Amino acid sequence: MLNSQTGKTKDRFLVVMSLSFVLGMTVALGVYFLWRSHPENFQRLSAAAAALAVCPPFVLSFAFAPAPESDLALVLILGTIVFANAFLYAGVAAGIYAVLTLRKKGKG
């Protein structure tokens, strides 16, 4: 019985991690493409603060223009922002999952 519950827990954890990783990538890509298509909107503090709230690695984009001169710079910047945000979301989800699991074990 213990093995079946451990398997369920592992599966649930993998699902949570996968979904949060993909969500982080999606949010980062969405913020980047919004910034690239409407860079004038991100000059206002409210839009920049909202972008940084949902995608903290977006701060890297302020060092570059919305369309960098070289393709390599674009790939490096976008790749760094996307994967940093994905790992950030996955880390937060892992922490929340751990806390909720410990609380559930403490009550049961």
pLDDT band with cut points at 50, 70 and 90 for residue 2? very low
Q: In terms of pTM, does the model score above 0.85? A: no
C-beta atoms surrounding 69 within 10 Å:
9
**Does the pLDDT value for residue 55 go beyond 70?**
yes
Whether residue 51 is contained in a domain is answered as yes
Q: How far apart are the first and last CA of the chain?
A: 16
Instruction: Compute the mean pLDDT over every residue in the chain, rounded to the nearest whole number.
Output: 86
Domain carrying residue 93 = 19-107
pLDDT band with cut points at 50, 70 and 90 for residue 95? very high
Decide if 80 contacts 29 (C-beta within 8 A): no
Which pLDDT does position 56 carry in this prediction? 92
Whether residue 94 is contained in a domain is answered as yes
Whether residue 6 is contained in a domain is answered as no
CA distance 25 to 22: 5
Whether residue 14 is contained in a domain is answered as no
Whether residue 12 is contained in a domain is answered as no
Alpha helices in 38-66 (DSSP H): 45-54
pLDDT band with cut points at 50, 70 and 90 for residue 99? very high
Per-residue pLDDT, averaged over 60-65, amounts to 77
Tally the domains of the chain: 1
CA distance 52 to 43: 13
Whether residue 9 is contained in a domain is answered as no
Whether residue 78 is contained in a domain is answered as yes
C-beta atoms surrounding 27 within 10 Å:
19
Alpha-carbon radius of gyration of the chain: 18
